[in-house]
Structure 1
């Protein structure tokens, strides 16, 4: 998959996520502080950039990080076509892909360990959107 990965800070967690993604065979483009280490990127700028570029289908998926994870996910969701979630565990990531067709996965740099991030990434990329969910939503409205 073609993935846009951005963060407002470069940490051991972002390094670990990047390694996992590339080791898994994904094509990864870096954004924000991960791409421009001399610049100070704000979480809102990162989220908006990821949201826009994934929402327009320039990238298949996006990964975003900030201190809490909430800021980057909120900013990404401002863009049309972006469906960003903040995952605290693998089950949340899995169900967001299956039921919500989420296309941007966000992490908290403060809360997420490297091993937890790998569990979340594994669950996220293993799951596919369940088209029946879309039919159920249409039926309800």
Structure 2
């Protein structure tokens, strides 16, 4: 699987994330502070990851900032991205299963190395639910995005 990842600073689990994914056999595209040529700020780095996922350059993404909140907000601004801020394995498992999350958001401050591995295990072992109600909710999210895009395009055209 190809992952796009970012962090806004090289602290906490930032460097471990890349090496852990590669050790598990995944391809990794890096952004933000993980690539010295890029702007490290959380909004920019998270957007780059989200665009990789939305545009098919990556299968999934992982975004990190101090709390994980800003990174998840920025990623979720890109149409087609469902970023989930996860602090434990069960939340990650549920985010993949019930929310069909395609971007994982993590806190550099509060995610330990052991938690990172547990969260990655849960994320990678989980598949999106095929339950009709769960799929209907995901389709409703897509409808919300389409509506927001139409509204934004109408505002720009005015």
Same fold at TM > 0.5: yes
Q: Which has the higher helix share?
A: 2
SS in 2 for 1:30: strand
Report the equivalent of 2:60.
Answer: 61
Report the equivalent of 1:134.
Answer: 135
Deviations 1:22-54 (A, max 9, x none): 011000011111011x66521111111111221
- Could you tell me the TM-score, scaled by structure 2's length? 0.81
Q: How does 1:1-40 map to 2 (within 5 A)?
A: 1-36=1-36, 40=39
Pairwise CA distance, 1:11 = 2.3
CA change 1:129–1:39 in 2 (3 A) is: closer
The alignment covers a number of residue pairs equal to 138
Specify every segment of 5 or more residues in structure 1 that has no aligned partner in the other structure, as ranges: none
CA change 1:137–1:75 in 2 (3 A) is: closer
- Could you tell me the TM-score, scaled by structure 1's length? 0.91
Q: Distance in 1 between matches of 2:43 and 2:137?
A: 33
- Cα RMSD after superposing both structures: 1.8
After the TM superposition, which segments of 4 or more aligned residues of structure 1 sit over 4 Å from their partners? 135-138
